Amino acid sequence: MHDDRSLVEARLKRVLDERIRPAVYPESVPLDVAVWHAPGEPVPVAEGLAAEPEPIEAGARWGAPWGTSWFRVTGTVPERWAGKTVEALLDLGFDENMPGFQCEGLVHRPDGTPVKGLNPRNQWVRIGAPVAGGEEVRLHIEAASNPVILDYHPFLPTRLGDKDTAGSEPQYTLTRMDLAVFDETVWQLVVDLEVLGELMAELPADSQRRHEILRAVDRALDLVDLQDVGGTAERARGTLAGVLAAPAVPSAHRISAVGHAHIDSAWLWPLRETVRKVARTTSNMTALLEDEPDFVFAMSQAQQWAWIKEHRPEVWARVKKAVADGRFVPAGGMWVESDTNMPGSEAMARQFVHGKRFFLDEFGIENDEAWLPDTFGFAAGLPQIIRAAGSKRLLTQKISWSQTNKFPHHTFQWEGIDGTRIFTHFPPVDTYNCSMKGAEIAHAARNFKDKGVARHSLAPTGWGDGGGGTTREMVAKAARLRDLEGSARVVWETPAAFFDKAEAEYAEPPVWVGELYLELHRATLTSQARTKQGNRRSEHLLREAELWAATAAVRGGFPYPYEELDRIWKTVLLHQFHDILPGSSIAWVHREARATYDRVAAELGVIIEAAQRALAGEGTTEMVFNAAPHPRAGVPAGGAGAPAVGGRTRLTPREGGGHVLDNGLLRIGIDARGLVVSAYDIEAEREAVAPGRAANLLQLHPDFPNMWDAWDVDEFYRNTVTDLTDADSVTPGEDGASVRIVRSFGSSRVTQVLSLAAGQRRLVLDTEVDWHETEKFLKLAFPLDVHAERYASETQFGHFHRPTHTNTSWEAAKFEACNHRFVHVAEPGWGVALVNDSTYGHDVTRTVRADGDRGTTTTVRVSLLRAPRFPDPETDQGVHRFRHALVPGADIADAVREGWRINVPERRLTGAGEVAPLVTVDDDAVVVTAVKLADDGSGDVVVRFHEAHGGRARATLTAGFEFAGVTATDLLERPLADAPAPERDGERIAVRLRPFELVTLRFRRG
């Protein structure tokens, strides 16, 4: 037989596009349309329905950026359509290639009841099946004219990302607004042909199955009368029945399809728009669940569920019913799908506390999995947190975006810093927006790394990012792929059902130890510095507020602010979403975030001040409140008292220019350029700064990545660097213990104050940058005379090590990485810590000096600022303030302690004298991260702590209050069934911890 494959395939494409798909709607009549444009922000549904609209015709422009327009569509079903299925086709001006990224709508009935959402791949509303003819149709569409930010030419700077700068030019053209007959037989034929055509394209050209499908498709097309598609569709379908009925081979890959709509809680739209995106999507999904009995839909992010409950009670009622039926599934157990690199220990824990508690309170459901398909890499401390929250599984997808190395597993055990392992799945379909295309299904089967020992994978199915969810076409395709020769088998299942099968078949999956580093989007550790500073500041203020409020409540009946703290925690957790905290959202999002963080700081400041005032009592004694987990100048951790004073710092001229700071512990040499040329540890007789090099060196790089401007920094940025060594002035500080440096470069200005406090082994660097550069990357470098093959980086509830060398492509790819409060480099017996109050991105490199002593220089660089122009063209313009400290002679214990010190400054009040801590621990390796009252309002005291140095710890925890009993709990403050009872001796608890082990204790007061 002659090879006519290309001929038949081309025929199929044209006939589908030009004849069969158009015949799905063979008859139509136009609807009458009128519109009312809301004058400002979105209005309540009742107001939109009551407004008086004005007529508008198809072809008219509508919708200022970020505006809301209420369309009223009316019409009458023609009598001649009696007995047929009729749908309204409502095209607001959609580009079908941009589902979730442009205008959207939510259809309401006249009484305000939501019907379903409209988006580029879902434009229909069922009127009747069948209709009687003569029905009056009246629908109202709440339409959002969200501008297209990420267009066909992506990453172009645009002012559309903020309502204040977006202008008023209409964004969309009203297109088709019709009533139409829906021919379901033709629609089914379309799905048949699409499934077979897509499958055929994935099969080997010489396979028997491919040619069987080709011949069947050819015969079916012969039977379609192109002038009467509807009249001949049934017989064409009959010809395809045989190839569609052929069962899959027994060894076929198994795919668990999970209905999904990954909705970014903010990104190229503001938070308020996400509230509406969630309502549109969930309206769609509850409607689809009613139509499709096999379909299952899963949604994560408790915050989004809470938005439905608060803002759309009618939709909430439908969602609750679908949850009760077991087909609308809460997933993930987190407040939002957060970034996991930058949130601090307690914040990461609270993501699960608040997420899981919401689903438990509302539905009595506790799920076992963390659901994070789009998060930009995963910190090494996360497995322990997931397990401590009562979960045991993780799903992610983003690792497939890594640029350099292909991850070796799809199903595996992920081991965290404390040894906790989490069963993890990384779907081989390589998308969290699967649409059931044949290419996607075939890719999942081919790509699956665990063949031979496992055969199940998961496919999150539905339009996401901006929402929309699963479509009826996807469900129809999945039905045909349930058992089809040549394809993987597809079945709708809940995430739990998938994980149960995957774990059952793969008893000993491979283990991945340490962080799941995404080899992409590294610049998200630096972009939008104010957002990151707001997060860090909020995390520590929340710790202080809980600590002092709990102490005051136990000591003197202070009213513990349960509701306020709950609300503020949820606000901070929301802003840790993986496009807010990483700095990859539009200007509007970050403008609002800055205002929110200021408001949070003010509210927490009031709580802290009130609690401390209640604790201080009346008196004139100067008191220092120490909220850090370590004693400070004689003031106990978590207590207050008079600080010890002593020692002094000398400031003298430096030979050759500059200044010397000396406090008897460190001697810091600052040259005439304002650079640190010596940081000498007097006791150890050891110099920290590498010979011939200078620390406190600001370095400026060009920064224009190949794509994803706010997200990415590409390695070639290092090829060009400008050292900012010229100083406008270098002058001694008036306090006699500091040096002030001013530099100008480009359009920007830097003012630094380098200070060495009496009795302290740390050089503090306060840096103020008035930043007005574009597409530049500002680093602060510390070349250290330390021979280190690895360095320690703080993460949640501990730290972990990364290599300083680049022996392999895996190590070379980590040229920008995340730390929390410290980075530490060391040789045996001596090291240096660099601590910070608000920065996350850094790089560490090493080189062997070619002359002189041939020693090793290990350079630690802090990432301060970037200036990408997409999606926010004014990213980080303006004044920024950073604080860092260089700690020569530091071991890990010093790094931990100094990291806390710089982030939790002491507070001073006058009062009666001392405040004893609620709890004390006699070992610095055991770090208390939270002291609070139990969330259930019982008055119990909850204390969370972990081993922070990476070794075994034996300590005594002493409670400074009477208690009737103590219980080990999970993060949700529930007793652990398998945990031994804590060893108690009066008010003292014996603590024995593994490296980095996390423990939560609940003290029942008595």
Is 423 in contact with 503 (CB distance < 8 Å)?
yes
Residue of 671, 640, 424 whose CA lies nearest to 548 = 640
Is 671 in contact with 657 (CB distance < 8 Å)?
yes
Please list the residues that pair with 817 across neighbouring strands: 842
Residue of 833, 835, 837, 886 whose CA lies nearest to 667 = 886
Residue of 683, 672, 608 whose CA lies nearest to 640 = 608
Output phi, psi for 616, to 5 deg: -70, -35
In this prediction, residues 924-942 reach a mean pLDDT of 98
The sign of the dihedral angle between the CA atoms of 921, 925, 930, 936 is negative
Residue of 496, 498, 515, 517 whose CA lies nearest to 506 = 498
- How distant is the alpha carbon of residue 272 from its chain centre? 18
Assign 986 to helix, strand or coil.
coil
Residues 799 and 825: their CA atoms lie apart, in Å, by 12
Task: Kindly give, in sequence order, each residue whose CB lies less than 8 Å from that of residue 60, ignoring residues fewer than 6 positions away.
Answer: 173, 174
Residues 320 and 613: their CA atoms lie apart, in Å, by 45
Query: If you compute the radius of gyration of the chain from its CA atoms, what whole number of angstroms results?
Result: 31
Assign 512 to helix, strand or coil.
strand
Is 890 in contact with 832 (CB distance < 8 Å)?
yes
Q: In which residue are the tokens 């017996």 written? A: 829
H/E run at residue 855: none
Q: What does the pLDDT read at residue 852? A: 74
In this prediction, residues 65-87 reach a mean pLDDT of 98
CA distance to 334, 379, 470, 881, per residue, from 420 (Å): 19, 13, 35, 38
| Token pair in block for residue 38 | 């809301």
pLDDT digits (tens, 9 = 90+) for 776-785: 999 999 999 9
pLDDT digits (tens, 9 = 90+) for 271-321: 999 999 999 999 999 999 999 999 999 999 999 999 999 999 999 999 999
Rounded to the nearest 10 degrees, what angle do helices 302-311 and 271-291 cross at?
90
Residues 883 and 836: their CA atoms lie apart, in Å, by 6
- Known active-site residue 500: no
Q: What does the pLDDT read at residue 703? A: 97
DSSP 635-668: BPTTEEEPPP-----EEEEPTTSSEEEE-SSEEE
Q: What does the pLDDT read at residue 964? A: 96
721 CB neighbour count, 10 Å cutoff = 14
pLDDT confidence band for 978 (50 / 70 / 90): confident
pLDDT digits (tens, 9 = 90+) for 534-564: 999 999 999 999 999 999 999 999 999 999 9
* % pLDDT > 90, the chain: 97
Q: In which residue are the tokens 């979403």 written? A: 577
CA distance to 17, 439, 692, 802, per residue, from 785 (Å): 68, 54, 10, 18
In this prediction, residues 13-27 reach a mean pLDDT of 98
pLDDT of 2 strictly over 90: no
- The alpha helices in 854-955, defined as continuous H runs, are 892-903
Q: What does the pLDDT read at residue 1? A: 65
In this prediction, residues 78-86 reach a mean pLDDT of 98
The sign of the dihedral angle between the CA atoms of 560, 564, 566, 572 is negative
Assign 672 to helix, strand or coil.
coil
pLDDT digits (tens, 9 = 90+) for 217-256: 999 999 999 999 999 999 999 999 999 999 999 999 999 9
pLDDT digits (tens, 9 = 90+) for 162-187: 999 999 999 999 999 999 999 999 99
Residues 305 and 335: their CA atoms lie apart, in Å, by 9
Burial bucket for residue 927 (CB in 10 Å: 0-12, 13-18, 19+): buried
Assign 417 to helix, strand or coil.
coil
pLDDT digits (tens, 9 = 90+) for 706-747: 999 999 999 999 999 999 999 999 999 999 999 999 999 999
Q: What does the pLDDT read at residue 392? A: 97
Cis preceding linkage at 691, omega within 30:
no
In this prediction, residues 392-417 reach a mean pLDDT of 97
In this prediction, residues 20-42 reach a mean pLDDT of 97
pLDDT digits (tens, 9 = 90+) for 665-691: 999 999 999 999 999 999 999 999 999
Assign 315 to helix, strand or coil.
helix
Please list the residues that pair with 128 across neighbouring strands: 86
Burial bucket for residue 380 (CB in 10 Å: 0-12, 13-18, 19+): buried
Is 501 in contact with 256 (CB distance < 8 Å)?
yes
* % pLDDT > 70, the chain: 100
pLDDT of 805 strictly over 80: yes
pLDDT confidence band for 979 (50 / 70 / 90): confident
Q: What is the mean pLDDT of the chain?
A: 97
| Token pair in block for residue 999 | 């423990």
Residues 435 and 300: their CA atoms lie apart, in Å, by 19
pLDDT digits (tens, 9 = 90+) for 818-858: 999 999 999 999 999 999 999 999 999 999 998 778 899 99
pLDDT of 1006 strictly over 80: no
Residue of 596, 585, 588, 42 whose CA lies nearest to 312 = 42
pLDDT confidence band for 980 (50 / 70 / 90): confident
DSSP 859-880: EEEEEEEE---SS-TTTT-EEE
Residues 28 and 88: their CA atoms lie apart, in Å, by 9
Residues 165 and 786: their CA atoms lie apart, in Å, by 50
Please list the residues that pair with 1001 across neighbouring strands: 943, 968
Q: What does the pLDDT read at residue 890? A: 98
Is 834 in contact with 887 (CB distance < 8 Å)?
yes
Assign 645 to helix, strand or coil.
coil
pLDDT digits (tens, 9 = 90+) for 864-915: 999 999 999 999 999 999 999 999 999 999 999 999 999 999 999 999 989 9
DSSP 774-830: SSEEEEEEEEE----SEEEEEETTEEEEEESS-SSHHHHT-SSEE-SSEEEEEETTE
Task: Kindly give, in sequence order, each residue whose CB lies less than 8 Å from that of residue 151, ignoring residues fewer than 6 positions away.
Answer: none
Is 439 in contact with 396 (CB distance < 8 Å)?
no
Query: What letter represents residue 454's amino acid?
Result: A
Is 328 in contact with 261 (CB distance < 8 Å)?
no
Assign 253 to helix, strand or coil.
coil
Residues 712 and 838: their CA atoms lie apart, in Å, by 20
pLDDT of 595 strictly over 80: yes
HEC secondary structure over 595-607: HHHHHHHHHHHHH
Is 374 in contact with 264 (CB distance < 8 Å)?
yes
Contacts 24+ apart (CB under 8 A), 643-652: 643/906, 646/758, 646/759, 647/758, 647/759, 648/758, 649/736, 649/737, 649/756, 649/757, 649/758, 650/736, 651/732, 651/733, 651/736, 651/737, 651/738, 651/739
- How distant is the alpha carbon of residue 46 from its chain centre? 34
pLDDT of 917 strictly over 70: yes
pLDDT digits (tens, 9 = 90+) for 482-521: 999 999 999 999 999 999 999 999 999 999 999 999 999 9
Q: Could you say which of 183, 192, 264, 374 is catalytic?
A: 374
Q: In which residue are the tokens 């939709």 written? A: 315
Query: pTM of the prediction?
Result: 0.97
Task: Kindly give, in sequence order, each residue whose CB lies less than 8 Å from that of residue 719, ignoring residues fewer than 6 positions away.
Answer: none
| Token pair in block for residue 989 | 């608890």
DSSP 1-13: ----HHHHHHHHH
CA distance to 212, 216, 420, 437, per residue, from 207 (Å): 9, 15, 47, 20
Q: In which residue are the tokens 């045989």 written? A: 242
